[in-house]
Amino acid sequence: MSSQDGEHRWWHGAVLYQLYVRSWLDTDGDGYGDLGGVIARLDYLSWLGVDGIWLSPTMPSPDDDWGYDVSDYLGVHPDLGTMDDMDALIAQAGQRGMRVLLDLVPNHTSSAHPWFIDAAGSRDSALRDFYVWAGPGPDGGPPNNWLDATGAPAWAWHEPTGQYYLHNFLPSQPDLNWWEPRVHSEFAEILRFWLDRGVAGVRIDVAHGLYKDAQLRDNPPEAGDAPMAGRFGLQSVYNANRPQTHGVYRDWRRIADSYPAAYPGARLLLGETWVADPDRLAGFYGDDDELQLAFNFPFVFAALTAPGLSGVVAETLARLPAGACPVWTASNHDVGRFPSRWCGGDERKTRLALLVLATLPGTTVLYYGDEIGMTDVRVPPELQQDKMSRGGGNGWEGNRDRARTPMQWDSSPAGGFTAEQVTPWLPAGDTAAVNVAGQREDPGSVLRFCRDLISLRHAEFDGQIGSYQVLPAPPGAWAYQVGRLTVLANFSGRPVPCHDPGGPVLLSSTGAALPAGPDIVLAPWQAVIARSADAGG
């Protein structure tokens, strides 16, 4: 029996908050956000009501991929702060009842990591097998047809040792070889190191990756034009998504479960599971012995329509193992911001999407700025920082910098992110139109609405995944019951009548009163939360 049996799993019904540290708040005047800025705004996050903070990469890195190219797994990036800052952040968040999750990158390292420097020394280097090396293919070129995240060959020729090494991302991000037992041992110690410091868990980058096909077989052609069917004409069958990866998470889950239930409570493994198949997604939960949460990217890429979103939710819940906790998000540092992608900047749609996110069973994850309706920012080429997608090409839907711009705290040109005389690392968006200061004092703002949603979620779902039942709804609408709540959502540009839930309306996305009558008439892009008829007053 694990230490978690019968113990409150704090992420059930919780709201997690992805915080891109470099863009949160600059407290040392260098134009980059830092851990001191996270500490300075903990009271804001507590006021908002979030339960846990997922920090974007905080470990030392040359920043070719802004922290996702790690050069030291046991440190803190000097641009962001010190280990003392990290300890203070964990402690002060805990004093406010919030947990801290770190971003862990086990698929690859930086080419500046001491492991790779040793491995590249010679074919006989002690750590050579920490990485994936191969000789040329029959034509003298790369070993197979694998492509990296930019669409270029995923193999870099290493002249000094006469072999290629694999990089599913940038050439400066060599992939680790998880067939090597010593890699497992190193990451077990890395995980323990951070959990011992009071980290409540980790978000696992490229959680579907890790193992690569031992035979290095060619990837097959993509399966169509549906979202996530493939990229650059190929499916990632052999350079990721290998079944052996599940053994890693069973090992990590045993480590996580070995920690005492005292605060911060059960340790959480949250996976970036970039898979389209709901059965494959369900597989990452295992028999409640792998990840406790696995990101649902089909939901992220679904259309903002009633059948689009409700279909993914229904299929997901039907496939997950009994007792598994789904997790829902709509924005992140890679895919962009949902107020742009889904809503086109339409505040009605943004409020509707927030209401749905806050009422689905399981765990909700917000991206910094979602709560004020921040949109993607056009970053001109000369100011772009992201090497993976610079220029908006290479298959990306726009440069990833668009969703990594500074948090908009106030209406000043830099949005209160940094001192007036300092140039932020990325340009701020329309701070005059959207900012925390202006919305915090406005009871009708998106921010106050989001805070009310989180408060209601806590009151109804605290510690519970929540039951889910689809209700009858006219075309264009989605109706469902979660626990004691009924949600009615109109995903169309016309008024839609819905059956009266029989209980009081607790929250409306528009804030407007509903027309009187036996049925509820939802305005275009309006959603409401009501007490279910059988739930009492």
pLDDT digits (tens, 9 = 90+) for 192-230: 999 999 999 999 999 999 999 999 999 999 988 777 888
Q: Which residues lie closer than 8 Å to 478 by C-beta, 6 or more apart?
A: 306, 309, 310, 356, 487, 488, 489, 491
Residue 268 corresponds to which amino acid?
L
For 466, residues 6+ apart whose C-beta sits below 8 A from its C-beta are 13, 360, 361, 362, 460, 482, 483
Q: Which tokens is 343 given?
A: 């809503």
Task: Taking residues 279-306, report their average pLDDT.
Answer: 97
Q: Report whether the peptide linkage leading into residue 171 is cis, meaning its omega lies within 30 degrees of zero.
A: no
What integer is the mean pLDDT of 442-446? 97
The reported pLDDT for the residue numbered 5 is 41
pLDDT of amino acid 517: 64
Digit-coded pLDDT (tens) for 286-296? 999 999 999 99
- 269, containing H or E segment: strand 268-271
Q: How far is CA 157 from CA 177, 210, 253, 344, in A?
A: 17, 21, 36, 43
Lowest-pLDDT range, 14-18, 83-87, 314-318, 512-516?
Answer: 512-516
* Mean predicted confidence (pLDDT) in 145-156: 96
Band of residue 1 on the pLDDT scale cut at 50, 70, 90: very low
Q: Long-range pairs for 469-477 at CB < 8 Å and ≥24 separation?
A: 470/310, 470/314, 471/499, 472/499, 473/306, 473/498, 474/498, 475/306, 476/306, 477/306, 477/522
Name the DSSP letter for residue 537: -
Asked if residue 43 lies in contact with residue 31, where contact means CB atoms within 8 angstroms, the answer is: no
Residue 231: the pLDDT is: 86
What does the pLDDT read at residue 229? 82
The predicted model gives 116-120 an average pLDDT of: 98
Contact 507, 533 (CB under 8 A): no
pLDDT tens for residues 239-254? 999 999 999 999 999 9
pLDDT of residue 321: 96
Structure tokens at 452: 């009310």
Question: What's the CA gap between 360 and 381, in Å, rounded?
Answer: 38
Q: Where are the beta strands (DSSP E) in 330-370?
A: 363-367
pLDDT band (50, 70, 90) for residue 396: very low
Is the pLDDT at 7 greater than 90? The verdict is no
Tokens of 432: 């005059």
User: Helix, strand, coil: what percent of the chain each, to 5?
Assistant: 25, 15, 55
328 strand-pairing partners: 364
DSSP string, 4-70: TTTS--TTTT-EEEEE-GGGT--SSSSSS--HHHHHHTHHHHHHHT-SEEEEPP-S----SSTTSS-
Looking up tokens 């011992």 gives 196
DSSP string, 449-512: HHHHHHHHHHHHHTT----EEEE---TTEEEEEETTEEEEEE-SSS-EEEE--SS-EEEESS-P
- When pLDDT is averaged across residues 66-88 and rounded to a whole number, the result is 98
Q: Is the pLDDT of residue 234 over 90?
A: yes
User: Which residues are known to be catalytic?
Assistant: 205, 272
For residue 86 the two structure tokens come to 């990290």
Residues of the chain with pLDDT > 90: what percent?
89
Average pLDDT over residues 412-437: 97
CA distance 441 to 423: 28
Across 194-267, the runs of DSSP E, i.e. the strands, are 201-204
Amino acid at 48: L
Give the 3-state DSSP-derived string for 361-422, with helices as H, strands as E and coil as C.
Answer: CCEEEEECCHHHCCCCCCCCHHHCCCCCCHHHCCCCCCCHHHHCCCCCCCCCCCCCCCCCCC
User: pLDDT tens digits for 461-492?
Assistant: 988 999 999 999 999 999 999 999 999 999 99
Say whether pLDDT at 3 is over 50. no
